[in-house]
C-alpha cells in the first residue's frame, strides 16, 4: 500500500483498503502539502482515527482542534481561513451524522433497513476527505478518480458485519431493542456533550458555523432530556413535600384526636367516682385543638416551604440546561 502511495505522482486514496491506510494516505499528503493544508489533513485524520477507535475520543479531538488552529495560523488570507473553518464544520457534521446512522443500524432488528442511512453517512465522510484531497491535488483530480475514491472510502466506513446475522440474533435484538437503543442513544448524546465542551472552549479557533449550530439545534430537545434527572428528581421531591403538607397534619390530627378521646373517656370514668375540675372536658378539647392544630400548621408550612424551594431549584437547573444548549446554538449561528 505504502509503495502504491509513494510511487504515484498523485497519492491515489482510492487504493486504500482499511481505515488505517486512509490515515496513512492523508499523512503522506500532509508531508507534501503546504503548512495550512497539512494541518487541515491532520485534523481530518483525527476524525478518521476516532471512528476506527472511539475510545480515543479525548486525544483525537484535542489534536483535531490543535491542527485546525495551526492550519488557520498558516492560512494565506481570510478567504482561506473561512474555507478551513467551513471544512472543519463539515467534518464534524459528517462525523455526527455518521455516529447517529451507526447507532440506528446497530439497534435495528433488520439491519438491512438501516443500511441506506449508514451508507449515506459514510458517503458524506468520504466526500469530506476527498475535498481535502482535491486541495492537495490542486484541483486537478479527475472526476473518475473522485467517484472511485468516494465509493471505496464509503465502503471502508460502512463495513457492516452481517455474517451469522441469523434469526436468533435478530430475535435477540428485537427482545432487547428498547434497552439497547437507550444505551446507544445515551452514548451518542454523551459524545455530543463532550464535543460541545470542546467546541465552546475552542470557539476562537473554529468560529461561527451554521453546520455546528444545526447539529445542536437538531438534537437540542434530546440533549436536554438526557439531563432531565437533574431537575425531575427535585420536582418529585417538591411534589412529595406538597403531599406531606396535608398528609402529615391529617395523621397528626387523626391520631391526636383518637388519643385525646381515649384520655377523655378515662377521665369521664374517673369523674363518676371523683369530682374533677369544672369544665375539664371543654378545656381538654380546647387544648387538644390548639396543640394539634398548631403542630399541623407548622408542619404544613415547613413542607410547603421545602416544596417551593425544591421546585425553584428544579426550575433553575432546567433553565440552566436550556440556556446552555441555546447558548451553543446562538454562539455558532452565523450572523447574516
CA–CA distance, 47 with 28 (Å, rounded to integer)? 17
Contacts with 248 (C-beta within 8 Å, 6 or more apart), sequence order:
296, 299, 300, 303
In Å, how far are 65, 89, 148, 306 from 81, measured between CA atoms?
14, 12, 29, 54
CA–CA distance, 176 with 97 (Å, rounded to integer)? 24
CA–CA distance, 170 with 166 (Å, rounded to integer)? 6
| Domain coordinates in residue numbering, the chain | 2-226, 229-332
The whole-number pLDDT of residue 265 equals 76
Joined grid coordinates for residue 105: 443500524
The whole-number pLDDT of residue 252 equals 81
Q: Are 241 and 314 in contact (CB under 8 A)?
A: no
The whole-number pLDDT of residue 35 equals 79
Q: Are 12 and 29 in contact (CB under 8 A)?
A: no
With a cut of 50, list the residues of the chain below it in pLDDT. Answer: 1-9, 109, 140-144, 162-176
Burial profile 47-61: b = 16 or more Cβ within 10 angstroms, e = fewer: bbbbbbeeeeeeebb
Q: Are 213 and 329 in contact (CB under 8 A)?
A: yes
Amino acid at each position: 500500500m505504502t509503495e502504491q502511495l509513494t510511487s504515484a505522482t498523485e497519492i491515489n486514496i482510492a487504493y486504500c483498503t482499511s481505515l488505517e491506510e486512509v490515515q496513512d494516505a492523508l499523512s503522506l499528503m500532509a508531508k507534501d502539502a503546504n503548512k495550512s493544508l497539512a494541518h487541515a489533513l491532520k485534523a481530518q485524520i483525527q476524525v478518521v482515527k476516532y471512528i476506527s477507535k472511539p475510545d480515543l475520543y479525548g486525544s483525537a479531538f484535542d489534536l483535531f482542534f490543535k491542527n485546525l488552529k495551526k492550519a488557520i495560523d498558516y492560512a494565506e488570507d481570510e478567504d482561506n481561513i473561512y474555507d478551513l473553518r467551513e471544512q472543519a464544520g463539515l467534518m464534524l457534521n459528517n462525523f455526527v451524522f455518521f455516529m447517529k446512522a451507526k447507532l440506528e443500524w446497530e439497534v435495528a432488528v433488520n439491519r438491512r433497513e438501516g443500511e441506506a442511512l449508514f451508507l449515506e453517512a459514510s458517503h458524506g465522510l468520504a466526500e469530506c476527505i476527498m475535498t481535502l484531497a482535491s486541495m492537495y491535488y490542486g484541483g486537478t483530480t479527475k472526476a473518475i478518480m473522485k467517484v472511485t475514491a468516494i465509493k471505496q472510502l464509503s465502503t471502508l466506513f460502512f463495513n457492516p458485519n452481517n455474517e451469522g446475522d441469523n434469526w436468533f440474533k435478530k430475535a435477540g435484538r428485537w427482545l432487547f431493542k428498547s434497552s439497547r437503543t437507550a444505551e446507544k442513544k445515551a452514548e451518542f448524546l454523551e459524545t455530543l456533550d463532550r464535543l460541545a465542551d470542546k467546541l465552546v472552549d475552542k470557539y476562537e479557533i473554529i468560529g461561527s458555523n451554521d453546520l455546528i449550530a444545526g447539529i445542536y439545534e437538531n438534537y437540542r430537545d434530546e440533549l436536554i432530556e438526557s439531563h432531565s434527572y437533574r431537575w425531575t428528581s427535585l420536582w418529585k421531591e417538591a411534589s412529595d413535600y406538597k403531599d406531606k403538607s396535608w398528609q402529615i397534619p391529617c395523621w397528626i390530627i387523626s391520631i391526636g384526636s383518637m388519643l385525646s378521646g381515649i384520655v377523655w373517656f378515662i377521665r369521664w370514668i374517673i369523674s363518676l367516682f371523683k369530682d374533677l375540675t369544672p369544665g375539664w372536658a371543654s378545656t381538654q378539647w380546647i387544648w387538644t385543638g390548639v396543640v394539634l392544630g398548631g403542630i399541623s400548621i407548622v408542619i404544613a408550612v415547613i413542607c410547603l416551604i421545602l416544596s417551593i424551594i425544591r421546585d425553584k431549584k428544579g426550575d433553575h437547573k432546567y433553565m440552566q440546561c436550556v440556556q446552555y444548549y441555546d447558548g451553543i446554538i446562538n454562539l455558532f449561528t452565523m450572523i447574516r
